[in-house]
Amino acid sequence: MAVAIAVAVMLDGGVPAAGQPAKTKILLDTDIGTDIDDAWALGYALKSPSFEILGVTVSDGDTAARARLACKLLFRLGRTDVPVSIGRPTPAVPPNRVDYQFAWAEDFREHLPIATPAVEFLYDSIRRNPHQVTLIAVGPLQNIGDLVRAHPDVVPLVKRVVLMSGSIGANAFSQSAVAEWNVKLAIPEAQAVYAAPWPLTIVPLDATTYLRLEDQERETLKKAATPLVIALETLLRLWTDRPASRMTLHDQLALAEAQEPGQFFSRCEPLPLRVDTEGFTRVDPRLGRGVTVCLEPKRNEFMAHFLGQLSVR
């Protein structure tokens, strides 16, 4: 497949072979374990021919349980070279929420998170790779907001920030903008991230809500029967709470934007955005900061790419 052919051949020391593009160094911040798209996004990133994953950080709620889930998925794919770092725990929202995906990894100990807290791991990784790291966050922004506030000196060293975040206008779930989950669960941190002077791109609900994994696509993917597909299908079954449940590909679309900028959207335009005190991402020409907003996803092109990349052995 084309995605397999495109894998860069690396020489000793990590230098690309002649004629081969350098891989994009990424740090992935995720709240894996609640919605299902986070695990599938991590699997998609692990199969990317153009990503060099420096590490995974976890945010929101029971971050230790989330970290175990990420570690087990990495272990299943033979990627224990990818470190997982735990962010600060926060109260679960809602407090009685049950995340059944956690059961998949509750006794897993073969690949453990590192001891360095998430914010310090992010800081150290960016400092070691100045102007090379794309920071991708697909969950509430506790870790990234804490990074901005604790280490503002690192902001100019980040190459690019890509978020699954925000709601600008209508989407498939609502006729008007809403306070998007990843923003409203960590409003002060989101305000810091959106206001920081770094190149910021968001993939909002305005785009992501229009992409669901349909039954035929799921069945086609299951036929690949790779270790990744088997693990992701298991987690999808744990997440499904009723026959009508379908995965919306929120986080995968943000990862795709980081991998192939602009490739899967008809519009990527700058808008002056700010996060208000209620968690809305407001277009504000006076107080907002320029943020690239990806809109109008190209569903057919993206799904062919996404399913093909997940299917690679």
pLDDT single digits (tens) 44-70: 999 999 999 999 999 999 999 999 999
> What pLDDT shows up at residue 14?
41
Query: Is residue 232 within 8 Å of 310, Cβ to Cβ?
Result: yes
Query: Is residue 123 within 8 Å of 151, Cβ to Cβ?
Result: yes
Q: What is the largest CA-CA distance in the chain?
A: 55
Between CA 194 and CA 95 the distance in angstroms is 27
Angle at 69 (CA atoms; ends 105, 145), nearest 5 degrees = 150
> What pLDDT shows up at residue 7?
34
Say what percent of the chain tops pLDDT 90: 89
Q: For CA atoms 126, 128, 130, 136, give the dihedral sign.
A: negative
> What pLDDT shows up at residue 242?
86
Domain 21-311: top CATH class: alpha beta
Q: What is the pTM (predicted TM-score) of this model?
A: 0.93
Between CA 20 and CA 133 the distance in angstroms is 19
Angle at 30 (CA atoms; ends 51, 55), nearest 5 degrees = 45
> What pLDDT shows up at residue 16?
53
Question: Could you write out the DSSP letters of every residue in 137-205?
Answer: E-S-SHHHHHHHHH-GGGGGG-SEEEEE----S-BTTBSS----HHHHTTHHHHHHHHHSSS-EEEE-H
Q: What does the mean pLDDT of the chain come to?
A: 93
Q: What pairs with residue 212 in β-bridges? A: 248
Q: For residue 312, what are the contacts with CB-CB under 8 A and spacing of at least 6? A: 1, 3, 4, 47, 226
**Running DSSP on this structure, what letter comes out for residue 214?**
-
pLDDT of 95 strictly over 90: no
Q: How confident is the model at residue 276 (pLDDT cuts 50, 70, 90)?
A: very high
Between CA 188 and CA 141 the distance in angstroms is 9
Q: What pairs with residue 223 in β-bridges? A: none
pLDDT of 9 strictly over 70: no
pLDDT of 1 strictly over 70: no
Between CA 81 and CA 77 the distance in angstroms is 11
Query: Is residue 185 within 8 Å of 200, Cβ to Cβ?
Result: no
Query: Is residue 126 within 8 Å of 16, Cβ to Cβ?
Result: no
Average pLDDT over residues 156-172: 98
